[in-house]
Structure 1
Amino acid sequence: MKKTVVNIAVSVALLSICQAVNADVTDIETIEVRGSYFNSYKVDNASGATRTNTSLLETAQAVTVIPEMIIDEQLATTLGEVLANDASLSPGSQQRNREVFNSRGFELSSSTGYLRDGHQHWSHYQQPIETLSHVEVIKGPSSILYGQSAPGGLINMVTKKPSTSRLFDLSADTDQNGSTRFMVDAGGELVDDLSFRSVLVKQDVNYDREYQNGEERERDRFLGYIAFDYNVSDNLTVNVYYDQTDDKAGLDTGGWLDSKGELIGDEKTIYDLSWAFTDITVNNVGTKISYFFNPQWTLKVGYNEQTFERQRFESSPQKPDDYLVSDSYTSKPYDRFDDWQFKTAYIDLTGEFSTASVDHQVLFGVNYLDYYYGQLKTNADSVNFVLGQTEPSKPISYKSDTSLSTTEYDYYGFYFQDLVTISEQWQAVFGGRFDKQNKDNADSDSFVPKFGVLYHPLDSATIYLNYAEGFEPASSEKLDNDTDKNHGMTLDAVTSEQIELGAKWQISDRLLVETSFFDIEKTGALIVENVSDNPDYESITTQAGVQRHKGFELSAQGAVTSRFFVMASTMFLEAEYEKDANYQGKTPIDAPKWSASIWSRYEVTEDLALNAGIFYQGKRFANSDNTITKDAYSRVDFGATYKTEIAGVKVNYRFNIENLLDTDYLGGGGVNNVTVGGDRMARLEVKTSF
């Protein structure tokens, strides 16, 4: 029972919130007076779920929107800090200055699990969240609109748009380790019909984990972003944008666990050598053109080109079995240069029309991705190392590699969707997508359908049922193993399907309460059975793996009273490999049965507001064999904002304490790359608005 206390508390809190809101219905006029925060906490639409401007009450799918208001209140600097606000997402490894997440227990791929403004986005780095207006968590298979994707869902990062009104914010924040972040956020109208938005960030981070020579791990980041909107005419708008991220950080591949799931050695110990680092440069440039034929029909065309260059100089520490702090371990250094290039484009036609008494909101579209990856890599000889001894020097450079390993492919898809309004109470949505991947020795075609039914017992309530499918293309066209009985077998895409039953209730137009029950099945993974008693072959491979995740979610987001605002969620998950040669009956890594989160704001006065949050992750497995577990934990955060005016300039002071109770905990990651939870951390921000 101990492991579910926080989840039960959050569930009870969610029910209490509903009762409090109902009791406070007569206070609507007060809400309207103080409506700025009310509107900033609750979001009514999520464009990424349907690629149209459809309300959440007309979306037959579970979607969570994390608004900019909460991102700012939490002084978030990473996407992981943002996504902690949705219990359906559990953190994975954070090694090598990047983050991994699981959605409903399925890992999100760097190449197919993330979107930026509806474009597939290469996400192998810490995302520049200062450019985001909000983050949409789209749950369940979403291949119908975006192509290849994991069954758990997608993360759509929506960027800040140019502002027609004058905006100029300056902010600076620091923490007790001496980390600093300076930011400028500006916007406005340059001339008639031409507006802009620009963000500049300079960040230096000092971590509390240390290398063996006593040096602190550090990070140095610069971000520049600019976007323009030009209203060419009443019917035509053009948006162009560019951003660049430069991010260099020392490497920390995580802590090591023993067979009992306990951290080996000191929580501040980094096993990587002090000269190990990752240095990336990411550029995005693109445009979006919208043409309005009339109020009912719109054509949108988008293009984005993302280049991602990274040098990763690894010491690559290897954890020995039964490792003790006094033992030696092996490092296998290498220097590697990676060059990823993502070119994406889409054309969407949306429209509304009626046939008899039935209304239709339709979408016809096509999207395309061109992928290129090149790698140079030089390996060094392995070295044995004992904590505390003198570090070996950097021995190599990737520039000595005269070869270039490359991977290239492209894919495109055609999709359609129709939201049919049959009556005031009943709606249906259906659609489908044909996808084609062109890759050497791995061509893959797929068609996926989607169906949903929505019933509105009230104007402010929805009950829905949906069925959706997803796919992930095969890595090769045929099985290539001449010692396998099924050598030459044609490989199909890995597929998934979900049935979801949910309900949404918008209480008094200020609080959105949602619940959903889901059952996701992923099929088609390769199962290899080794054979030792047959002279003709050594193994038998079939494409029959089955992984099943089912559970339920409950959430509330918005204003409980005129002064109290919340974003709260909880999830129960049963995740299992139902058919697998190695892990049948096991649970995937970092897929807790229970998880929960709550973030709240209470306005003491017009100028002073308090925040409090609890983030809970239940017991999770640290290895695929399920022999090592990580304990459940609850992290408590606290914050306060005070706004004033100095010489006519608006000034906001923000003070946060993360991990207020200084709880020891382990985050995501496995036995040899687990994230060690940070100690109590105080942060202060000063922000001025002109």
Structure 2
Amino acid sequence: MNHLTLPAALIGLVPAALALAAEPVAQPTQASATRAASVAPAAQLPTVQVIDTAEGGQGLSLPTVSGSRTGIATLDLPASLDHVNEQTWQERGDSRMADIIGRTVGMTPLSATSYSSLSFSTRGFTGTNSVGIAEDGVRLGVASSTTPYPANSWGYERVEVLRGPASIVYGSGTVGATANVVRKQPTRETVRDVLVGAGSHGSAKLGLGMGGALSDTLSYRVDAYGHYTNGEHDMSRASGSKLMSTLRWQPTAALRMELLADISDEKPTRYFGTPTVNGAIVPELLGRNFNTSDSDIRIKDKRVRARAQYQVNDWLSVSNELYHFKADRYWRNIEAYSYNPSKQQVTLGDYLELAHDLEQTGNRLETTLQAGAHKLVAGWEVSRARFNFARNDYAGSTIIGVSESSLSYWPNTSDMLPNYRTQATTHDFYVEDAWTLSDKWLLLAGIRRDLTDFDRKDLVGSGTFDKSLGGTAWRLGLTHKLNAQTSLYGQVSQGHDPVTNILTLNLANRDFKLTTARQIEIGLKQQFAQGQGEWTAAAYRIEKKDIITRDPNNALLSVQGGKQHSQGLELSAVMRLSPSWRVEGNYAFVDAKYDQLIEAGGADRSGNRPSNVARNTANLWAHYTMHSSIGRWQASLGARAVGSRFADNANTALSGGYTVWDAALSWRPQARSTYRLSVRNLTDKLYTYSAVSSARAAQAYPGEGRRVDLTAEFAF
């Protein structure tokens, strides 16, 4: 593997980091660690007396199932893992999951409204084929790049983001990173939470949560949430609701069984961006919605899970999780726009009326064995996903003048017809071992084999086929404890991505296999200042092969054989400077290039940067807290900076970088009530959230303008 070639200024940070790492400091803890893992306590390196923890910190002392199924502490994990808890996102005024994940190091959201997918760019890779989303460690099937759930934070206690190839834990489609969203758990204590909010554009939201004991052995947790907004564009009204529930039965300390049932119903905004010229937003077209007035989007999801865990004895535990997921989704929209400045005209295309009917049933059986210095986890997961796709095939386009009104009605009156059905049955086998070599050394090794049998039946045309896909992921990582609060690590890993969503494979990509990516990463993690600060650093290189390219001898023929790589540096830190001041920040640099890529028409993109990948991203927050006779006050100021990105692989359409400022002011008159005023995009800056430039469309999602929200949070 090639050596990392980072800028000299960034390389210069490494000696300073090592010097700081050598300072002995005290070990922190965190009260919520008792709720952090849903599996048996993990074997860890020896611990020392604890003193304090960094408020809003990175969870280095907490066990994690997001980075490894062995549940070792984040400080001991030989991989890069971000941790964001509920308190942190509440202080920032964040509630959309896209915003919460997007503020972690190196993660840039791509779907501005989250209406169709939680899509991100990180470590040089973009979209749902390379950046995964999981809930409590379970990833659900992705069809047509659609991952709308979970859209908001209500009912969740934290988010953990594992960066780099994560196939060893989550399977295919996770080379860039995976965000695991952890829901709130039932408790024996009675809990009542209420959230009431209102804000700009006629927005309103209401959240209700409750939990407690039903008997000596039964406890529960229920969360309900609803929201509404008129939106800041024409026809961008949106609303939604969800109900999450968990019932826990624990007759003994060794046995725990849970039943989870959720339902959500979303009607997202029907806004698909604004036309651009060479990647830049056209200001005079802002505010226009080129969709039809009778357009529609509906997303309904249902989820049921049953899970059980049994601690057989001191060294053996067994767990099983059975789940079923059903999604009904519908779109009727005009989604592609291109602008001709000389003629003052906009061409409307991609008249899409689609319906998705997706069902997935799966089961994961896992056993954990504690044998001396080894913590061994072995598992088998099997899932079957069925996908029915219907569409209205209309290939028309319309040209309108910029002064003309948008189309009022959907122009195609033809019936929507079933198009194809697919089924994917996947068996995943995995083994991980956390081996404590000594007080200073931990070796983490794992391997996973994924096998998928895919079947497609075309109801229109003759594209029926079946095929098998297989991928092997592995990881070998070593952690060295410089002292009780500081660790250095290195790892080599391999993961894999599909060339397109597996459930939507078609005849054109029938013969393609999974792409393969290998990563080398080194890093440092440290808690310092007697538990008042935490910081991490990671340097990496990822090489991915077998991406889709064109045959050099026939540009009309798509083949596997393309290559790309990325390398970079990521830094994140949180520090309490005094009883009143706390700061949080992160910075990511990535150098991503195509090593070999030929696109349609024979255009060679080798050496170009992938679209929607920023070389530099950063986040910074400062919080000031003061106490008065009428309660506790906190003022927060944050900045989100994203460098310039290209909207195309040709690197001709450039979207400029931006820095957006956000602020929040909270008042807590008593321990269980908080009133919060938050302002997003303080300066009302116009910027590009994400963009696309192709033969049929050149458009961008503008970032959200200034928005003011007022919320009240109560606990009983």
Q: TM-score range by the shorter chain?
A: 0.7 to 0.9
Which amino acid is 2:610 matched to?
Answer: P
Equivalent in the alignment of 2:560: 543
Q: Which one of 619, 622, 631 corresponds to residue 656 of structure 2?
A: 631
- 2:100 matches 1:74: no
Q: Which one of 288, 291, 302 corresponds to residue 307 of structure 2?
A: 288
| 1:575-597 residue CA offsets vs partner (Å, 9 max, x unmatched) | 00011113211101111111001
How far apart are the structure 1 equivalents of 2:363 and 2:271?
36
Query: Structure 1 pair 153/401, CA: closer, same or farther in 2 (3 Å)?
Result: same
Query: Structure 1 pair 172/341, CA: closer, same or farther in 2 (3 Å)?
Result: same
How far apart are the structure 2 equivalents of 1:632 and 1:111?
23
SS at match of 2:174: coil
- 2:641 matches 1:620: no
Q: Which one of 122, 134, 142 corresponds to residue 103 of structure 1?
A: 122
Query: Structure 1 pair 160/282, CA: closer, same or farther in 2 (3 Å)?
Result: same
Query: Which range moved further: 172-181 or 266-275?
Result: 266-275
- 2:439 matches 1:420: no
| Structural mapping, 1:210-609, within 5 Å | 210=234, 216-259=235-278, 261-263=280-282, 265-320=284-339, 322-323=340-341, 326-354=344-372, 359-380=373-394, 382-387=397-402, 388-389=404-405, 391-395=407-411, 400-440=415-455, 441-473=466-498, 491-507=512-528, 508-529=530-551, 531=553, 542-557=559-574, 559-582=576-599, 583-605=605-627, 607-609=632-634
* 1:428, distance to aligned residue in structure 2 (A): 1.0
CA contact (8 A) 2:26 2:51 kept: no
Query: Structure 1 pair 423/119, CA: closer, same or farther in 2 (3 Å)?
Result: same
* 1:450, distance to aligned residue in structure 2 (A): 1.3
CA contact (8 A) 2:130 2:174 kept: no
Which amino acid is 1:504 matched to?
Answer: K
Equivalent in the alignment of 2:35: none
Equivalent in the alignment of 1:201: 225
SS at match of 1:256: strand
CA contact (8 A) 1:97 1:252 kept: no
* 1:198, distance to aligned residue in structure 2 (A): 1.0
**Structure 1 residues without counterparts, runs of 5 or longer:** 1-7, 211-215, 482-486, 533-537
* 1:126, distance to aligned residue in structure 2 (A): 5.1
SS at match of 1:192: coil
User: How many residues matched?
Assistant: 651
How far apart are the structure 1 equivalents of 2:317 and 2:618?
40
How far apart are the structure 1 equivalents of 2:309 and 2:343?
60
Q: Which one of 143, 150, 170 corresponds to residue 194 of structure 2?
A: 170
Query: Structure 1 pair 351/33, CA: closer, same or farther in 2 (3 Å)?
Result: closer
CA contact (8 A) 1:42 1:557 kept: no
CA contact (8 A) 1:498 1:519 kept: yes
Which amino acid is 2:329 matched to?
Answer: R
* 1:655, distance to aligned residue in structure 2 (A): 0.7
Query: Structure 1 pair 186/27, CA: closer, same or farther in 2 (3 Å)?
Result: closer
| 1:39-66 residue CA offsets vs partner (Å, 9 max, x unmatched) | 7774623211102321011100000011
How far apart are the structure 1 equivalents of 2:77 and 2:364?
22
- 2:712 matches 1:686: yes
How far apart are the structure 1 equivalents of 2:286 and 2:687?
10
Query: Structure 1 pair 318/505, CA: closer, same or farther in 2 (3 Å)?
Result: same
How far apart are the structure 2 equivalents of 1:479 and 1:643?
56
How far apart are the structure 2 equivalents of 1:244 and 1:592?
36
SS at match of 1:208: coil
Equivalent in the alignment of 1:149: 173
**Structure 2 residues without counterparts, runs of 5 or longer:** 1-8, 30-48, 456-465, 600-604
Query: Structure 1 pair 497/33, CA: closer, same or farther in 2 (3 Å)?
Result: closer
| 1:475-517 residue CA offsets vs partner (Å, 9 max, x unmatched) | 79x9978xxxxx99x6432100000011111113342210010
How far apart are the structure 2 equivalents of 1:52 and 1:601?
35
Query: Structure 1 pair 547/271, CA: closer, same or farther in 2 (3 Å)?
Result: same
How far apart are the structure 2 equivalents of 1:327 and 1:63?
47
Which amino acid is 1:642 matched to?
Answer: W
SS at match of 2:700: coil
* 1:267, distance to aligned residue in structure 2 (A): 2.6
How far apart are the structure 1 equivalents of 2:679 and 2:127?
29
CA contact (8 A) 1:108 1:150 kept: no
Query: Structure 1 pair 541/384, CA: closer, same or farther in 2 (3 Å)?
Result: closer
SS at match of 2:692: coil
* 1:545, distance to aligned residue in structure 2 (A): 1.0
How far apart are the structure 1 equivalents of 2:437 and 2:609?
42
- 2:215 matches 1:191: yes
Equivalent in the alignment of 1:3: none
| TM-score, structure 2 as length reference | 0.84
How far apart are the structure 2 equivalents of 1:491 and 1:50?
30
* 1:392, distance to aligned residue in structure 2 (A): 3.7
How far apart are the structure 2 equivalents of 1:397 and 1:95?
28
Query: Structure 1 pair 93/670, CA: closer, same or farther in 2 (3 Å)?
Result: farther
Query: Structure 1 pair 525/36, CA: closer, same or farther in 2 (3 Å)?
Result: closer
Equivalent in the alignment of 2:41: none
* 1:444, distance to aligned residue in structure 2 (A): 1.7
| 1:160-196 residue CA offsets vs partner (Å, 9 max, x unmatched) | 1112211112221111222000111111111112111
* 1:395, distance to aligned residue in structure 2 (A): 4.5
Which amino acid is 2:580 matched to?
Answer: R
Query: Structure 1 pair 116/74, CA: closer, same or farther in 2 (3 Å)?
Result: same
How far apart are the structure 2 equivalents of 1:413 and 1:26?
38
SS at match of 1:145: helix
How far apart are the structure 2 equivalents of 1:147 and 1:136?
17
Q: Which one of 139, 153, 156 corresponds to residue 129 of structure 1?
A: 153
* 1:550, distance to aligned residue in structure 2 (A): 0.3
CA contact (8 A) 2:130 2:497 kept: no
CA contact (8 A) 1:666 1:676 kept: yes
CA contact (8 A) 2:392 2:417 kept: no
CA contact (8 A) 2:186 2:247 kept: yes
How far apart are the structure 2 equivalents of 1:254 and 1:228?
42
* 1:540, distance to aligned residue in structure 2 (A): 6.1
Query: Structure 1 pair 204/540, CA: closer, same or farther in 2 (3 Å)?
Result: closer
Which amino acid is 1:157 matched to?
Answer: V
Query: Structure 1 pair 183/656, CA: closer, same or farther in 2 (3 Å)?
Result: same
